[in-house]
């Protein structure tokens, strides 16, 4: 469970997190990311994003920049910014 603010969890909102989680549960083996010759499923992407979000929670209240060459790692960090920190909602 990822807590964002005031004891609320990511599942309390309509977020990119919920969209990614729903896809990971409903079609875990479907391809979510194609990067160069690498294909990543929704289940793997959700797992990687969740782990990164939990890691970044220790930086609560701080700004985090995503800087670097395009890569799968960059994609996970971008999703983390939208999911793990609750910065983006739809």
- pLDDT tens profile 14-46: 677 788 888 999 999 999 999 888 899 999 999
Query: How large is the average pLDDT for residues 72-82?
Result: 78
Q: What global pTM score does this model have?
A: 0.68
What residues contact residue 28 under an 8 Å CB cut-off, 6+ apart?
Answer: 41, 42, 43
- pLDDT tens profile 44-65: 999 988 888 777 777 776 777 7
The single residue listed with the structure tokens 């220790």 is 58
Q: Which of 24, 63, 26 lies closest to 44 in space, CA to CA?
A: 24
Buried-state track 19-37, b at ≥16 Cβ within 10 A, e below 16: ebbebbeeeeeeebbeeee
């Amino acid at each position: 469970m990822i807590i964002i603010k005031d004891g609320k969890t990511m599942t309390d909102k309509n977020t990119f997190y919920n969209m990614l989680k729903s896809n990971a549960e409903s079609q875990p083996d479907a391809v979510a990311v194609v990067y160069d010759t690498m294909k990543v499923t929704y289940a793997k992407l959700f797992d990687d994003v969740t782990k990164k979000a939990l890691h970044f929670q220790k930086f609560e209240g701080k700004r985090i920049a995503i800087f670097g060459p395009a890569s799968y790692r960059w994609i996970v960090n971008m999703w983390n910014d939208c999911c793990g920190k609750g910065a983006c909602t739809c």
